[in-house]
Amino acid sequence: MAPLNALTPDQLAQADAVVAEHRGTPGSLITVLRLCQDIAGYFPPELVERIARGMNLPVAKVYGVVSFYSLFSLEPKGRHQIRVCTGTACYVRGVREVLDRVERRFGVKAGGTCGSGRFSLEPVRCLGACGLAPVMVVDRDVHGGVTPDSACEILEGYE
Ligand code: FES
């Protein structure tokens, strides 16, 4: 039986094509990782090893880069990414209560993904929209002035 969250043959073939296109191009690892994450959504060990082999790099180096940049993830992500700003302006305007309520309502812990795979929740530093505090971003949609109630209502719209 395939392991949970295993990549499909199609995803692996696409990742191989990305690696083949950039192999031998100096400084292309970040580009390869970005494109491979778009394909797979995250970096399971089999993908990290495949990229390392294909790029002729040590596996530890690829792991090092993936873990260094917050843009890359070693964990599977939910269908929707919730980012909640915990910067000062959002904090003083009650974002802690928003986070607590979202965690309880959707069964997702900050920094994690809910069991159904619907949401990943990530607290982040100032999003640069302090005038809208408290701010929650769902995928690419910015929601300002959220309250515990309105945040949950907004999230109900994302299946
Ligand atoms: S502190 Fe939240 S957007 Fe700046």
Q: How far is CA 129 from CA 97, 147, 151, in A?
A: 19, 16, 17
The response to whether residue 135 sits with its C-beta less than 6 Å from ligand 1 reads yes
What is the pLDDT averaged over residues 74-98? Answer: 93
C-alpha torsion sign, points 145, 147, 153, 159: positive
Residues with Cβ within 8 Å of residue 150, at least 6 apart in sequence: 143
Instruction: Give yes or no for residue 1 having a pLDDT over 50.
Output: no
pLDDT one-digit tens code per residue, 142-157: 999 999 999 999 999 9
pLDDT digits (tens, 9 = 90+) for 105-138: 999 999 888 988 899 999 999 999 999 999 999 9
Asked whether 130 lines ligand 1 (CB < 6 A), one says yes
pLDDT value at residue 5: 55
For residue 6, report the distance from its CA to the centre of ligand 1, in Å: 37
| Cβ atoms < 10 Å from Cβ of 107 | 13
Q: Which residue has the tokens 């949950």?
A: 152
Evaluate: CB of 146 within 6 angstroms of ligand 1.
no
Question: Whose C-alpha lies nearest to ligand 1, atom 1?
Answer: 87
* CATH classification for the domain delimited by 80-156, as one of 3.90.1150.10, 3.40.50.300, 3.40.250.10, 3.40.30.10: 3.40.30.10
